């Protein structure tokens, strides 16, 4: 079994070979340690440094490079899959009721008074934006407090904020003096309300992604969050 | 199973006919994890953390499908190579 100092040396070795993220370092360190231990067991006169050199050689001429790239791609994909998983959950019964409820409220308010509709629309839009910002900053703060970088955290967050900003064009026309356009006004309001409801679902799904990621990182690397 | 264990197990099962390199194994594991076919959990082992991979429910289903595909492929190849492989 390798000593604490040797394990620390392996972390430094990963860092020197451009593996900056703790989640990837942990996995590589364990692999290197296992392979070194196996070599040292077979050849008792083999030094730790020489065994490390041999093991690193097995990673090929590009070293850890391809591994980092692939892990980054996988982390992005994982983040997207997680987001769509939560998003789709809100389109299923009974959670889909929230979507219908927002559309119904927005439409009813419009029928009652278009200014109420505007107020409701802007409040939900601004609320989603602020909640999204808060969730991202809270997540970033928690991760930063560990003093470590996590690939899964770096490449799987914040997609919701992008979606919120995409909604600006949908939101802007409700300030227009002629809103809603006289022709097809019902459809226009229904469309705007549906977009608003989708925005809320996106915000909730994105928050769920961040919470889920945070919990998974805490569970997998308790020492880093201690 | 953890990464190193997988490489050793494959080597042992195939009597060293098949060797999975580290550079190929981890990217594959990370991709499978991202696709939800395997899931990972960690455990503290002495001075280090070990990451274990296991098949998810979807992964097990996919494994059965791929297993059948490979079997069909081998059977098809047997038509061309005689005597029959066992």
Query: Same domain for B29 and B39?
Result: yes
Using the Cβ of A57 and the Cβ atoms of chain B, whether some distance falls under 8 Å is answered with no
Q: What is the mean pLDDT of residues A89-116?
A: 89
In the predicted structure, residue A157 carries a pLDDT above the cut 70: no
Q: Identify which of A187, A216, A209, A213 has the alpha carbon closest to the alpha carbon of residue A88.
A: A209
Query: Same domain for B13 and B36?
Result: yes
Q: What is the mean pLDDT of residues A43-48?
A: 92
Percent of chain A at pLDDT > 70 equals: 88
In the predicted structure, residue A52 carries a pLDDT above the cut 60: yes
Residues 6+ apart with CB under 8 A from B32: B38, B53, B59
Q: Quick one: which H or E segment has residue A211?
A: helix A185-220
More confident of the two residues A190 and A39: A39
Show pLDDT as tens, one digit a residue, over chain B (86 residues). Answer: 999 999 999 999 999 898 888 888 998 999 999 899 999 999 998 889 999 999 999 999 999 999 999 999 999 888 887 665 55
In the predicted structure, residue A174 carries a pLDDT above the cut 80: no
Nearest-CB residue to B23 (from A66, A73, A220): A66
Predicted local distance difference test score (pLDDT) of residue A154? 81
Q: Identify which of A169, A196, A184 has the alpha carbon closest to the alpha carbon of residue A109.
A: A196
In the predicted structure, residue A115 carries a pLDDT above the cut 70: yes
Predicted local distance difference test score (pLDDT) of residue B72? 94
Nearest-CB residue to A58 (from B2, B21, B42): B21
Query: Same domain for B38 and B51?
Result: yes
Residue B16: which domain range? 1-55
Query: Same domain for B44 and B75?
Result: no
Q: CA dist B54 to A9, A21, A133, B5, B62, Å? A: 29, 23, 35, 12, 13
Predicted local distance difference test score (pLDDT) of residue A61? 85
Residues 6+ apart with CB under 8 A from A5: none
Query: Same domain for B49 and B66?
Result: no
ipTM (interface predicted TM): 0.83
Q: Which of B3, B7, B25, B30 to mutate to test the interface with A (most CBs of A within 10 A)?
A: B30
This prediction has a pTM of 0.83
CATH at B34: 1.10.10.10
Q: Identify which of A210, A220, A195 has the alpha carbon closest to the alpha carbon of residue A154.
A: A210
Query: Same domain for B39 and B66?
Result: no
Q: Identify which of B55, B53, B52 has the alpha carbon closest to the alpha carbon of residue B65.
A: B55
Using the Cβ of B18 and the Cβ atoms of chain A, whether some distance falls under 8 Å is answered with no
A221 chain-B contacts, CB cut-off 8 A: 42, 49
Query: Same domain for B48 and B69?
Result: no
């Amino acid at each position: 079994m390798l000593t604490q100092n040797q394990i620390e040396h392996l972390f430094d070795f990963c860092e020197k070979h451009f593996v900056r993220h703790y989640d990837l370092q942990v996995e590589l360190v364990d692999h290197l340690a296992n392979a070194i231990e196996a070599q040292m067991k077979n050849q008792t006169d083999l030094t730790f440094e020489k065994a490390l050199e041999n093991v690193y050689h097995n990673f090929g001429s590009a070293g850890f490079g391809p591994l980092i790239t692939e892990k980054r791609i996988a982390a992005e994909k994982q983040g997207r899959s997680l987001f769509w998983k939560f998003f789709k959950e809100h389109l299923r019964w009974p959670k889909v009721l929230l979507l219908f409820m927002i559309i119904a409220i927005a439409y009813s308010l419009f029928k009652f008074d278009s200014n109420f509709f505007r107020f409701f629309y802007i409040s939900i839009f601004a609320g989603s934006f602020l909640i999204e910002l808060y969730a991202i900053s809270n997540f970033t703060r928690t991760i930063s407090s560990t003093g470590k970088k996590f690939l899964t955290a770096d490449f799987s967050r914040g997609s919701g904020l992008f979606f919120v900003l995409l909604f600006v064009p949908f939101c802007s026309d409700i300030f227009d003096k002629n809103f809603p356009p006289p022709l097809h006004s019902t459809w226009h309001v229904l469309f705007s309300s549906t977009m608003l409801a989708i925005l809320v679902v996106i915000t909730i799904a994105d928050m769920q992604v961040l919470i889920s990621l945070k919990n998974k990182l805490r569970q997998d690397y308790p020492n880093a969050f201690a | 199973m953890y990464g190193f264990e997988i490489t050793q197990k494959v080597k042992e099962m195939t009597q060293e006919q098949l060797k999975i390199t580290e550079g190929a194994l981890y990217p594959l594991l990370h991709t499978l994890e991202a696709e939800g076919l395997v899931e990972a959990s960690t455990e503290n082992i002495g001075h280090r953390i070990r990451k274990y991979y296991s098949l998810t429910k979807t992964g097990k289903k996919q494994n059965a499908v791929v297993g059948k595909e490979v079997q069909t492929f081998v059977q098809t190849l047997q038509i061309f190579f005689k005597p029959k492989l066992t």
